Amino acid sequence: GAGVSQSPSNKVTEKGKDVELRCDPISGHTALYWYRQSLGQGLEFLIYFQGNSAPDKSGLPSDRFSAERTGGSVSTLTIQRTQQEDSAVYLCASSPLRGKDTQYFGPGTRLTVL
């Protein structure tokens, strides 16, 4: 079956513009995660969705960041008024069950803010 897909694969934007990043999780996976990876750094947790529960937004770095998940499937991460420090690879992951299971990562979206 298909893995986690993300679009676009690359996004270049100007400072101050808004961007939307999309994630299609593996079908049937109830948990969905967004992480950010800056150059040479580890992965930084941003937000977590589990089923129909309210998302855990505790990792979002500022109120310019928001995310939603429609119908328990596709998720969109929105960054408003982008700043240069937002430049990073944004990775989405999904997991089938709560608790002990693997997170399967998508290929990421490389965001460059000029």
Partner 1 sequence: QQPVQSPQAVILREGEDAVINCSSSKALYSVHWYRQKHGEAPVFLMILLKGGEQKGHEKISASFNEKKQQSSLYLTASQLSYSGTYFCGTGRGSGGGADGLTFGKGTHLIIQP
Q: Which CB atom, from 59 or from 72, has the smaller least distance to partner 1?
A: 59
* 3 state DSSP class of 80: coil
Q: Stretches 17-25, 43-51, 62-70, 71-79: which one binds partner 1 (CB under 8 A)?
A: 43-51
Whichever of 25 and 106 has its CB closer to partner 1, that residue is 106
* Residue 94 · residue 25 · CB < 8 Å: yes
Assess contact for 110 and 10: CB atoms under 8 A: yes
Q: Is residue 96 a contact point for partner 1 (CB under 8 A)?
A: no
Which residues neighbour 22 within 8 Å (Cβ) at sequence distance 6 or greater?
6, 7, 8, 74, 75, 76
Give contact residues for partner 1 (rule: CB under 8 A).
4, 31, 33, 35, 41-45, 48, 50, 56, 59, 91, 95, 98-108
